[in-house]
Structure 1
Amino acid sequence: MKKTTVKKTDVAKLRIRVRAYEHKILDASVRQIMDTAARFDATVQGPVPLPTEIRKYTVNRGAFVHKNAREQFEMRAHKRLVDIVNPSGKLVEALTNLSLPSGVNIEVKML
């Protein structure tokens, strides 16, 4: 059997990871990013929901004797992933000038 090799063309990708504690704010922010990319006719892959990061903290309710009386708190971090294929310079500039609500963390990587 003959193996065929296919060369991949170098495609620039802008990978955006969005993270927030409230999923409604997160979805609104991702929608803003998608609308901005659609205005510049960019090819968008996503949004891909990533696993929710759950941190649980257990504390004692009582001070001394009441070991079995405990209370649990948790923090949930929701995450989404958006890929933009072959972003133009104007699109990158528009994304940097985008004002998103507080509580939304964004990581941008160029692949």
Structure 2
Amino acid sequence: MSQVIRLELKSYDHRLLDKAVAGIVEIVGDGLNSVVPMPTKIKRFVINKATHAYGYSKERYELRKHKRVLWIRPDAGSMSSLMRMELPHGIEVYIKLVGEENTNS
């Protein structure tokens, strides 16, 4: 039985996210179960340019939040390396201990 850790990485810049995932994959190596790219969350905002008239004149903005989920079977060396890893600014990391993985089957 070995523990499984779920890492969630979120960012507004997909290039930073891919670079961080590549660094984690390099550190963890064989302990990586899978990397799952989740759907991009898109928030759209429409704002009037003019304050009173010209209702047809609008500005459109959107925020895209990218997300990757990694499932890891860590050992002591890879966990200490992960804790010391420098991630770029703008990446949110959520770590959750999922539980035990059955290695008998």
TM-score interval, smaller chain: 0.7 to 0.9
Give distance in 2, aligned partners of 1:71 and 1:92.
46
Q: Structure 2 CA distance, aligned partners of 1:64 and 1:46?
A: 53
Report the alpha carbon displacement of residue 89 of structure 1 after superposing the two structures with TM: 2.4
Q: Equivalent residue for 1:102? A: 89
Distance across 1 between alignment mates of 2:33 and 2:57:
48
Paired residue for 1:78? 66
Deviations 1:57-85 (A, max 9, x none): 11001110111211110010111011012
1:29 corresponding residue in structure 2: 20
Q: How many Å separate the matches in 2 of 1:105 and 1:94? A: 18
Among candidates 55, 63, 82, match of residue 67 of structure 1? 55
Asked which structure has the greater RCO (Cα within 8 Å, sep 6+), the reply is 2
TM-score normalised by structure 1 residue count: 0.82
Greater Rg, structure 1 or structure 2? Answer: 1
Write out per-residue CA displacement over residues 6-60 of structure 1, whole angstroms, 9 at most, x where no aligned residue. Answer: xxxx54101001111111111000000000101xx42x12211001010111100
User: Which runs of no fewer than 5 residues in structure 2 stay unpaired?
Assistant: 99-105
Q: How many residues align?
A: 98
State how 1:12-51 maps to structure 2 within 5 Å.
Answer: 12-38=3-29, 41-42=30-31, 44-51=32-39
**Which 4+ stretches in 1 moved above 3 angstroms?**
none
Gaps of 5+ in 1: 1-9
- Report which of the two has the higher share of strand: 2
CA-atom RMSD, angstroms? 1.2
User: Quick one: distance in 1 between partners of 2:12 and 2:34?
Assistant: 20
